[in-house]
Structure 1
Amino acid sequence: MTGWLDHLWYGSARPLWPLWPLAWIYRWVARRRRDTAISARGALSPLAAPVIVVGNITAGGTGKSPLTAWIVAELKSEGWRPVILTRGYGGRSSTYPLLVKPDTPVSTSGDEPLMLARQSSCPVVVDPRRSRSARWALAQDLGDILVCDDGLQHYALARDLEIAVFDGQRGLGNGAPIPVGPLREPPERLDDVDFVVGNGRWVAGIQHAEQYTMVLSPTVLRHVKSGETRPVDWLLDRHVRAVAGIGNPERFFQTLRGLGARVRPLALPDHHRFGAGDLAVQPGEQLVMTAKDAVKCQGIAHDHCWVLDVTACLPGRFREVFMARVTEIQSRT
């Protein structure tokens, strides 16, 4: 998402109000596609495994992938064999479904699938048609539970549990549909989801019985080229060129400032294709980026490039209720 559009959508005003006719058309088309997809999947045989969908009703990044990584880690700790399903935005493969491996070219898989494959050590399957990838993953016996990253609007895929993720700072933005605002679906869609998770803080304006807050906690600095690690307090009073091509770059910059770094920021569009010029630093600076961006920079990184690794932290109550729901779903499948 570009910075100017981000400003227009996530302020309190609606400066793009002349586009309301397009917004209503977008909402009508989205509702029609949803109804058609749900109707079509009724003719298919049920999937032989639980399906968990992580997504959002707003455009742009919200923290879905860190939550997905947390979910599969918790499922593995309970004896499940999770498989991550994803569209693979930004990648292009000659064949689908694509099983992503740690050495899969990022141009083939997309940045988030490759990041998740390296972080989670569980199968990641890319396919624009996630219902197809779900059946393929089960036929290949890759796992026994499916976690769909960014699939809330992919209604062709049947699901047992839905989690809607929000950037806690941005919330619903100006509350208008695309293109006047950031909403892919109306707020009433949240009545159907099982959980609402706010990244960083409670989401204002949303009332849901199962709303929780997720915090992305910095864990370690990792050298892009060598893999060497250093504690995050190494950033204290250090001059840092902070580069971020994610949904909300300012959140990343604030995290670095909170660690004591002297930040010179460079905000880039989500899923940005990096060039060597994007990684330029001034004398005495270290460059720090996100894990999502680092998978695209392996071949162009220099000796001053570091990744700030983070992990999602959620309340114990969320884990308790989430696992209880999964157990309930298991008993029905």
Structure 2
Amino acid sequence: MSDTVTTVQRSLSAVLKPCGWLYGRIMRVREKLYRAGVMRSWTPSVPTVSVGNIGWGGTGKTPVADWLLGWAGKKGLKPVLLSRGYRAKPKTLPYVVQPGAMAEEAGDEPLMLARNHENARIVVDPDRGRAGRMAEEAFKPGLFILDDGFQHMAVRRHVNLALLRPEDLGEEWDRVIPAGSWREPSSALHRADAFMIKISPKRFKELRPVLDKRLGLLFKPVFSFSIAPTGLRQVVGEGAAIDFGGAPYLLVSGVGQPAQVAATATAYFGYPPAQHKVFKDHHGYTKKDVLTITRAADMAGCGAILCTPKDAVKLGPLCTEAFWQFDLRVVFGPSTLGKHVTFESWWETRFDAIRGRTAGHGGNG
């Protein structure tokens, strides 16, 4: 959510808070209807994990989903990710994303995941139950990943991961839209099997008293993770590099939290970008945008233009060899289960238990 929206929400808090309370009540009723079976849901026959959040954007859902796809591939499973395809405009539904698809058709994040994991199946459809039934029959998956699925109760899951931002535990706690960024009230957090926070190990330790206060009574583990660059590669072309050799660069981002992108780039290179061109989240880049970016880079004396992988899938057909993107990886840190108990070890134990319960009901692996 933009700073402008947050400012407006805070200034109109007295008016918007009752609206948020009413919206929260509606969401609680919706949850009860699903639990009672009044609103129908589909149950996959193989292990299914939902990666979602309580609020809007910037929690790291896509990197976590990306890690899960990679993990499944290494285990010899056939993962299928179900996405509603935010702003995607596929010609048919369900839509199986191919690595060569257009971002406008597939959606930026589904396309990025399809290119990163060619052995996986990324399926776009607002009706994820329909998409899941098709995928279960056509692909015989060993794992379903429900992207942005915390509120999508029409598909049942075996593990519910709720991703939080540090501010969700502070000033944004229980501020339901339109008064805040939360999609549901704090009572919905009981559905989570585990919480994940994109934060450094040091900051996680500092945040521990707040975690215990806000989430302690739910008795669910909280895992930390961060996203670390491992190198650079050209958006078009075959070039790869460790860094820019100290040369100035222009940064471009169209993501939920651009300040985090700038902080990551500054920490990686050891110096900030000469300029940061910020576009709105999920921005659809045009030729005019690329001309504006390249001119700004020329004026700033930057021979390199750096963007995020999410932006790269949309910039690709338009940009030049001056455009580079980060190679990124997820790094798991400490958790409330102990310094050495990371999400990866917890997840593997949990997955094995789920697979044992679902064996013989379909799927593979």
Instruction: Name the TM-score, length of structure 1 as normaliser.
Output: 0.90
Superposition map of 1:1-333 within 5 A: 1-6=1-6, 15-40=12-37, 46-121=43-118, 122-168=120-166, 171=169, 173-175=171-173, 176-201=175-200, 202=204, 204-205=210-211, 206-208=214-216, 209-231=220-242, 234-235=243-244, 237-258=246-267, 259-263=269-273, 264-279=275-290, 280=293, 281-283=296-298, 284-285=301-302, 286-315=304-333, 317-333=342-358
Alpha-carbon distance in 1 for matches of 2:286, 2:41:
44
Alpha-carbon distance in 1 for matches of 2:325, 2:55:
27
Alpha-carbon distance in 2 for matches of 1:147, 1:72:
8
Structure with higher Rg: it is: 2
The structure with the greater share of residues assigned to helix is 2
| CA displacement at 1:47 relative to structure 2 | 2.1
* Structure 1 alignment gaps of length 5 or more: none
Report the residue type matching 2:109 in the other structure. E
Report the residue type matching 2:192 in the other structure. V
Cα RMSD over matched residues? 2.2
Which aligned segments of 4 or more residues in structure 1 are displaced greater than 6 angstroms? Answer: none
Alpha-carbon distance in 2 for matches of 1:182, 1:267:
21
TM-superposition CA deviations, 1:42-77 (whole Å, max 9, x none): 866742111100000011221101001111222232
| CA displacement at 1:276 relative to structure 2 | 3.1
Is 71-80 or 207-216 further displaced after alignment? 71-80
Give yes or no for contact 2:80–2:135 (8 Å, CA) kept in 1: yes
The alignment-based identity, stated in percent, is 28
Name the SS of the counterpart of 2:325 in structure 1. Answer: strand
Report the residue type matching 1:125 in the other structure. V
Give yes or no for contact 2:40–2:154 (8 Å, CA) kept in 1: no
Is 200-209 or 106-115 further displaced after alignment? 200-209
Alpha-carbon distance in 2 for matches of 1:55, 1:110:
17
Alpha-carbon distance in 2 for matches of 1:6, 1:106:
29
Alpha-carbon distance in 1 for matches of 2:40, 2:177:
31
Give yes or no for contact 1:16–1:179 (8 Å, CA) kept in 2: no
| CA displacement at 1:79 relative to structure 2 | 2.9
Alpha-carbon distance in 2 for matches of 1:63, 1:252:
12
* Structure 2 alignment gaps of length 5 or more: 334-340, 359-365
Change in Cα spacing, 1:157 to 1:218, as seen in structure 2 (3 Å) is same
Name the SS of the counterpart of 2:111 in structure 1. Answer: helix
Alpha-carbon distance in 2 for matches of 1:56, 1:297:
27
Give yes or no for contact 2:34–2:41 (8 Å, CA) kept in 1: no
Change in Cα spacing, 1:24 to 1:168, as seen in structure 2 (3 Å) is closer
Alpha-carbon distance in 1 for matches of 2:245, 2:263:
14
Report the residue type matching 1:303 in the other structure. E
Name the SS of the counterpart of 1:23 in structure 2. Answer: helix
Alpha-carbon distance in 1 for matches of 2:169, 2:237:
38
Instruction: Name the TM-score, length of structure 2 as normaliser.
Output: 0.83
Change in Cα spacing, 1:183 to 1:14, as seen in structure 2 (3 Å) is farther
| CA displacement at 1:134 relative to structure 2 | 1.1
Alpha-carbon distance in 1 for matches of 2:42, 2:8:
44
- Give the number of aligned pairs: 328
Give yes or no for contact 1:87–1:126 (8 Å, CA) kept in 2: yes
